[in-house]
């Protein structure tokens, strides 16, 4: 399945093929493209030398993984409650459904295993899996509490024909939704070129109510996302042939619900126009080769593909003020922080330490000599250039800096200088 535009990253084993633009836009994709088109593209490109799956292997973040597991569990349980005609989790029927499933912890455990299975062929995650599993198991009571809390506020209207398997529009034919509650509803508007998946949609005689479960903190993006769902509901001619409107929109957070006022029909029309404009701009942005990189302190610090983005590493040099605090005199600066650094590895000092020259870093000045310490064998080798993510960086008064690889660090070897000259936008003279 090779093909598409060639992507050369300059990082060993990480060349591949740029992704095609999505057939239908989703809210998550639009937001990510608007934030940084390069990030969207690098995350979804194919890297045949790394693994067989599509996209760059994702890094593991425990909190995010817990959120995904809670969401997967809710999806499973809401589907089971809907299909068994339960009106809420506070009924004897629901108790029976949960007992048949083995209880909250059992379902959470299944969802956890499913998420871990996906990571077994992920080269960035495989070494961490035992520790990740242990941490997740210890958090099951916490996740169970979150699931109970979110589920306890959920009201369900039994749909006509409940007692059957919940309708999944991904698996079957798309037809109009009957009055009642439906879990995991895929909405689609061919006219807009958009798709979205609603956690719980209840069709009423006059319209519909949409509930979206959120495991993180409240955010403006969540409000916009549920408004997109309400637009997709109105525009989805297959699920909603009567073109009714959403009458209630609810974001369900741990501890509280947030009611989002639905837009009027005229407001939805305006929203659709603005969304179409944004979609066109986003599609233009990801068709570029390479797509534009939009580095920034906040957005890059959690970017899972920043090791592949030359613009990020150049940007890092200008982020020194952020690491130091604006106005700090570099000669007085003492820093010990986790951060990223690109290093030319020089001669070996000891079993696990090397001399090096910092090329890009927000903490250690470019061109300065550093000592690099590794936590295990084989992480770095003499005469190479590496990009290290989450190194422990120590610098004192602009003097000798130390970069230590910890179990949380990742190192990525760059190809030879001659190759790099072709791919890097600019490099400091050292």
Partner 1 sequence: MEGVRVDRRAPFDVPGIGRIEAPILVRSGSRELIVAIHGPLTPGYLGTSELRDAAEYGSTRVVPIDELLVSRNLPQATLMVRNALN
Query: How far is CA 249 from its chain centroid?
Result: 24
Single out the residue of 55, 30, 46, 47 nearest to residue 285, CA to CA. Answer: 30
Would you count residue 130 as binding partner 1 (CB under 8 A)?
Answer: no
Q: Rounded distance, CA 154 to CA 251, Å?
A: 11
CA torsion sign for 19, 20, 24, 30 is positive
Residues in the chain: 430
3-state secondary structure of 255: coil
Smallest gap from residue 145 Cβ to partner 1 (A): 5
Rg (CA), the chain: 25
Is position 244 an interface residue for partner 1 (rule: CB under 8 A)?
Answer: no
The label of the residue with tokens 């997109």 reads 228
Secondary structure class of 424 (helix, strand, coil)? coil
Distance of CA 243 to the CA centre of its chain: 32
Among 92, 329, 377, 422, binds partner 1 (CB under 8 A): 92
Q: Is 80 in the site for partner 1 (CB under 8 A)?
A: no
Q: Is 59 within 8 Å of 124 (Cβ atoms)?
A: yes
Nearest to 77 by CA among 116, 27, 111, 39: 111
Contact range with partner 1 by CB under 8 A, out of 64-72, 144-152, 353-361, 417-425: 144-152
Interface with partner 1, residue 217, by CB under 8 A: no
E strands present in 175-294:
180-189, 194-203, 207-213, 245-253, 256-260
Distance, CA of 296 to CA of 312 (rounded, Å): 8
Q: Is 94 in the site for partner 1 (CB under 8 A)?
A: yes
Binding partner 1 by CB under 8 A: which of 6, 53, 61, 103? 103
Instruction: Tell me the window of 98-106, 230-238, 243-251, 409-417 that interacts with partner 1 (CB under 8 A).
Output: 98-106
> In the block, which residue shows the tokens 């109009």?
176
Report the nearest approach of partner 1 to the CB of residue 104 (Å): 6
Closest separation between CB of residue 111 and partner 1, Å? 15
Among 26, 87, 88, 369, binds partner 1 (CB under 8 A): 88
CB distance 165 to 83 below 8 Å: yes
Residues in contact with partner 1, shown as a per-residue x/- string from 245 to 284 under the rule CB under 8 A: ----------x-----------------------------
Residue placing its CB nearer to partner 1 in the complex, 80 or 285: 80
User: Could you say whether residue 301 binds partner 1 (CB under 8 A)?
Assistant: no
- In the complex, what is the shortest distance from the CB of residue 95 to partner 1, in angstroms, rounded to a whole number? 3
If the CB atoms of residues 7 and 94 are measured against partner 1, the closer one turns out to be 94
- CB nearer to partner 1: give 62 or 126: 62
- Cα 176 to Cα 134, 167, 179: the distances in Å are 44, 11, 10
CA distance 294 to 39: 9
Token pair, residue 197, equals: 């998946």
Residue 149 C-beta: closest distance to partner 1, Å: 5
Residue 144 touching partner 1 (CB under 8 A) = yes
In the complex with partner 1, the residue whose CB is nearer, 68 or 149, is 149
Quick check: 135 binds partner 1 (CB under 8 A)?
no
> Which one among 64, 129, 140, 237 touches partner 1, defined by CB under 8 A?
140
Which of 4, 48, 96, 216 is the binder for partner 1 (CB under 8 A)? 96
Binding site for partner 1 (CB under 8 A): 88-92, 94-96, 98-99, 103-106, 138, 140-141, 144-145, 148-149, 151-152, 255
């Amino acid at each position: 399945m090779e093909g598409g535009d060639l992507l050369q990253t300059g990082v060993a084993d990480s060349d591949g093929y740029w992704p095609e633009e999505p057939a239908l836009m989703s809210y998550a994709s639009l937001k990510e493209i608007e934030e940084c088109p390069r990030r969207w593209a690098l995350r979804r490109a194919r890297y045949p030398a790394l693994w067989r799956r599509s996209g760059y292997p994702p890094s593991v973040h425990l909190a995010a993984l817990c959120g995904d597991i809670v969401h997967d569990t809710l999806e499973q349980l809401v589907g089971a409650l809907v299909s068994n005609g339960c009106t809420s989790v506070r009924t004897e029927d629901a108790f029976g459904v949960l007992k048949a499933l083995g209880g909250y912890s059992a379902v959470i455990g299944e969802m956890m295993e499913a998420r871990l299975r996906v990571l077994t062929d992920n080269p960035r995650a495989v070494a961490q899996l035992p520790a990740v599993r242990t941490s997740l198991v210890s958090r099951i009571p916490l996740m169970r509490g979150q699931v109970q809390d979110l589920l306890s506020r959920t009201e369900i209207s039994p749909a006509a024909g409940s007692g059957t398997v919940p309708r999944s529009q991904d698996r079957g034919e798309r037809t109009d939704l009957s009055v009642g509650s439906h879990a995991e509803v895929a909405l689609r508007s061919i006219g807009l070129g958009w798709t979205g998946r609603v956690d719980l949609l209840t069709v009423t005689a006059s319209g519909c109510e949409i509930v979206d479960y959120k495991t993180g903190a409240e955010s403006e993006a969540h409000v916009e996302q549920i408004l997109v769902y309400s637009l997709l509901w109105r525009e989805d001619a297959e699920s909603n042939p009567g073109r009714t409107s959403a009458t209630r929109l609810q974001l369900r957070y741990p501890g509280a619900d947030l009611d989002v006022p639905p837009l009027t029909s005229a407001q939805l029309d305006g929203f659709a126009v603005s969304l179409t404009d944004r979609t066109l701009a986003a599609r233009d942005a990801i068709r570029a080769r390479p797509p534009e990189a939009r580095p920034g302190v906040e957005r890059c610090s959690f970017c899972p593909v920043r090791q592949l983005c030359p613009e990020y590493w150049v940007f890092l040099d200008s982020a020194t003020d952020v690491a130091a605090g604006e106005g700090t005199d570099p000669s007085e600066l003492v820093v010990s922080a986790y951060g990223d650094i690109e290093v030319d590895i020089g001669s070996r000092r000891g079993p696990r330490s090397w001399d090096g020259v910092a090329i890009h870093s927000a903490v250690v000045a470019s061109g300065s000599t550093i000592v690099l310490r590794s936590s295990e064998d084989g992480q770095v080798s003499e005469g190479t250039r590496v990009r290290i993510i989450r190194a422990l960086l120590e610098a004192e008064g602009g003097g000798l800096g130390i970069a230590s690889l910890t179990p949380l660090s990742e190192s990525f070897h760059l190809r030879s200088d001659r190759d790099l000259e072709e791919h890097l936008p600019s490099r400091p003279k050292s």
